[in-house]
Amino acid sequence: MARPLLLSGGPIYVPPRQAAAVGHAVAGVADDKSGPAYQRRTWDALRASITGHVNKATPANIRHVLPELLAENLVRGRGLLCRALLKSQAACPAFTDVFAAIAAVVNSKIPAVGRLLLVRLVVRLRRAHVTGDKHQLAAAAMFVAHLVNQGVAHELLALELVEMLLAEPTDDGVEVAVGVVTECGACPREVDAVFDALRSILVDADVDRRIGFLIEGLFAVRRTQFRGHPPVRPELDLVEQEDQFTHQIETPLEDSHVKQLDPETHLDVFKPSATFLQDEAAYEDLKRSMLGDDGEHIEESEPNDDDDDFHREDMEMEVIKDETATNLINLRRTIYQTIMSSAGAEEAGHKLLSIVRPGQEAELCAMLVECCKQERASSNTRFHGQLGQRLCRISRAYQAGFEACFARCYAAAHRIGTDELRAAAGL
């Protein structure tokens, strides 16, 4: 009988014969698939497999790596996947678009992974900005830009990021902001305000000559309609637009709000689960729906008319109604940012008309009145009045919208403060 091994003193060399004896001694415990020992072994294997698939992905083999990655239990290992993506992307920023493509495909199948990745990115962005870690800040900002291009993150996140970097311009912050706009500047419609801020920094701010050359180079790229900087390379365009699931982080990139986000770091460590076998069986069903019964590549499987009819009937029966008003919140935020970043009424009107679609005129009128209420100087309220006058000349819908706003303000005049009432009357 082999002598017991005393491993409390630290890692030591174990001869193969003694290691085999120890393995046979604990075989009975490890074979229990519901026990902690077996769950720990599968957890270690899952972590190694996810890390390996992420690290070996390239634009040439990503279509073959993704089915192998999706075959792993990414619901259980979503924390491991997010950590592997963030760690690999920070170590090799040149492959950021590849990691963003992986995140986009997994997000289209399991949206919780995309949400968790964005939350951790926002937390990392704010921490790097506060501590002045340029390397981490640049890597995380580039990841956000490519996730916006892939449709995982809403474009407002990139705009808020650039606004945070340019609020108190420094050489490092402006350099990172230029990189973000270069990568995803062809996507957001509200990028004109960013270029106005960069122009003022180039003229007024005391920045290094190298940063000035970077800004001038960005303007040259913009004049060419971002030619040479496509949002997504053809070999990495793997998700159809209707299959994309876009996330919007509802908190701005401020320290007090970022602290409210939960990065769920407990998902990165092993914890035994009482429902381990049920969770594994549930993911097997999900994996079959994603990859097919035989586990072949998605693009190589032959279409089945019966399955298509079945899924089409399910889609017709399932009606999803969004009651969170996410689109309305995003529209109001975009209108507010456009109004506050415009230098004149004509510029603001031109930008707003390119944002607001038919049927949204009332929201624009309401936001203009709310912005006017917050002003204290008469010159600023004159700006809002000129903007409202130009909008009323364009369409009767804006006239009706302002009339409705006047009726609401008149009815609630006894609840409005004196300063707000005076500012609203100036509109």
Q: What is the CATH number of the domain that holds 206?
A: 1.25.40.180
Both structure tokens of 363: 């929201």
One domain for residues 66 and 202: yes
Who wins on pLDDT, 31 or 369?
Answer: 369
CA distances from 105 to 80, 111, 152 (A): 16, 10, 9
**Per the domain annotation, does 210 fall within a domain?**
yes
Who wins on pLDDT, 297 or 118?
Answer: 118
**Per the domain annotation, does 68 fall within a domain?**
yes
CB-CB contact of 121 with 252 (8 Å): no
Phi first, then psi, for residue 293 (nearest 5°) are -65, -35
Instruction: Give the C-alpha separation, 67 to 359, whole Å.
Output: 43
Who wins on pLDDT, 144 or 260?
Answer: 144
One domain for residues 204 and 60: yes
**Per the domain annotation, does 142 fall within a domain?**
yes
Residue-wise pLDDT tens digits, 384-395 = 888 888 888 888
| 28-32, 72-76, 355-359: range with highest mean pLDDT | 72-76
Question: Which stretch of 65-79, 153-167, 255-269, 370-384 has the lowest confidence by average pLDDT?
Answer: 370-384
Name the domain boundary from 183, 211, 236: 236
**Per the domain annotation, does 143 fall within a domain?**
yes
Number of compact structural domains in the chain: 2
- pLDDT, residue 315, reads 47
The confidence band for 330, taking pLDDT boundaries of 50, 70 and 90, is confident
Q: At what angle do helices 396-411 and 378-394 cross, to 10 degrees?
A: 130
CB-CB contact of 91 with 53 (8 Å): no
Name beta bridge partners: 247: 153
- pLDDT, residue 88, reads 93
Q: What residues contact residue 333 under an 8 Å CB cut-off, 6+ apart?
A: 156
**Per the domain annotation, does 308 fall within a domain?**
no
The confidence band for 62, taking pLDDT boundaries of 50, 70 and 90, is very high
Catalogue the long-range contacts made by 383-391 (C-beta closer than 8 Å, 24 or more residues apart).
Answer: 383/344, 383/345, 383/348, 384/339, 384/426, 384/427, 385/426, 385/427, 386/345, 387/339, 387/345, 387/348, 387/349, 387/352, 388/427, 390/345, 390/346, 390/349, 391/349, 391/352, 391/364, 391/365
One domain for residues 199 and 338: no
**Per the domain annotation, does 268 fall within a domain?**
no
One domain for residues 94 and 216: yes
The confidence band for 229, taking pLDDT boundaries of 50, 70 and 90, is confident
The confidence band for 378, taking pLDDT boundaries of 50, 70 and 90, is low
Q: What residues contact residue 177 under an 8 Å CB cut-off, 6+ apart?
A: 141, 161, 162, 165, 166, 194, 198
One domain for residues 223 and 331: no
The confidence band for 256, taking pLDDT boundaries of 50, 70 and 90, is low
**Per the domain annotation, does 222 fall within a domain?**
yes
Name the domain boundary from 236, 262, 289: 236
* Domain enclosing residue 398, as ranges: 327-426
Residue-wise pLDDT tens digits, 139-190 = 999 999 999 989 999 888 888 888 888 888 888 888 998 888 888 866 555 6
| 110-114, 369-373, 421-425: range with highest mean pLDDT | 110-114
One domain for residues 76 and 200: yes
Q: Taking all residues of the chain, what is their mean pLDDT, rounded to a whole number? A: 79
Instruction: Give the C-alpha separation, 406 to 361, whole Å.
Output: 15
| 46-55, 253-262, 400-409: range with highest mean pLDDT | 46-55
Name the domain boundary from 176, 207, 236: 236
Q: At what angle do helices 155-167 and 111-131 cross, to 10 degrees?
A: 0
The confidence band for 1, taking pLDDT boundaries of 50, 70 and 90, is very low
**Per the domain annotation, does 105 fall within a domain?**
yes
- pLDDT, residue 132, reads 86
Q: Give start and end residues of each alpha helix (H) in 150-208.
A: 155-167, 171-184, 191-204
- Tell me, what DSSP letter sits at residue 259? T
One domain for residues 344 and 228: no
One domain for residues 76 and 181: yes
Who wins on pLDDT, 338 or 108?
Answer: 108
- pLDDT, residue 182, reads 87
Who wins on pLDDT, 15 or 97?
Answer: 97
- pLDDT, residue 233, reads 87
Residue-wise pLDDT tens digits, 272-313 = 888 888 989 999 988 888 886 544 444 444 445 545 554 454
One domain for residues 92 and 231: yes
Give me the percent of the chain exceeding a pLDDT of 90.
22
